[in-house]
Amino acid sequence: MILRCTARLLSVVKAPTEVTPADPNPEDWYGNLVWIDRRKCLLVTHSQTLLSVFAADVRTADLRPLGSFVVPLIEGALEAEGLSPHTFGRLDPHDVRLAKTADRSVLGCMNDMVFTIQHAIHLDGGLERSDIALINRQLRRSISSSRGYARPIDMARAWLTRDRGSCPSSNSCP
């Protein structure tokens, strides 16, 4: 699994010299560390489907090694949605390679998601009063124009049934 991290996340989890050079791939994941209510939070997004998982109030120690935190987070989100934890293949927490971000459209979608998360948390009266599971559920049902106005959860379901050999790495493939 390749996790493409923003510079902010990379600075917390690894030295830049340990970043894997890798060409963009529709199976990549993106990670962004954001601050909400003066707390570190993590947003992880699948590049092709935009299926996302938000974790609130994370500690730096939780993120080292990053794979041990991110893989169970993704698998838990998939199970919460009634999907196999192996929807995107078997993710090994010990085989998560970090890379720099490579797709501005994914980053733009993630920025929109962060705005949506911040708004929901504000409406709830702060991070401590927010239902993070509900926020995650809503994120996975929010459409994006960059993926043909499809819901990430629906694209993840389609990901299970697609023929990986015939799917080009374009945004039109589920």
Q: What is the pLDDT confidence band of residue 73, given thresholds at 50, 70 and 90?
A: very high
Q: For 111, which DSSP code?
A: H
Three state DSSP letters for 131-147: CHHHHHHHHCCCCEHHH
16 pLDDT band (50/70/90 cuts)? low
Domains parsed from the chain with CATH numbers: 2-148 (3.30.420)
E-assigned strands of the chain? 2-5, 29-36, 39-46, 52-55, 97-100
Q: Is the pLDDT of residue 169 over 80?
A: no
Mean predicted confidence (pLDDT) in 112-141: 96
Comparing 6-15, 31-40, 71-80, the range with the smallest average pLDDT is 6-15
Do 30 and 114 contact (CB within 8 A), yes or no?
A: no
The CA radius of gyration of the chain, in Å to the nearest whole number, is 15
Say whether pLDDT at 168 is over 60.
no
Percentage of residues in the chain having pLDDT higher than 70: 90
pLDDT above 90: residue 41: yes
Instruction: Give the residue-averaged pLDDT of 65-72.
Output: 94
Nearest to 63, CA basis, from 89, 91, 40, 35: 40
Per the prediction, the chain carries an average pLDDT of 89
pLDDT at residue 170 above 70?
no
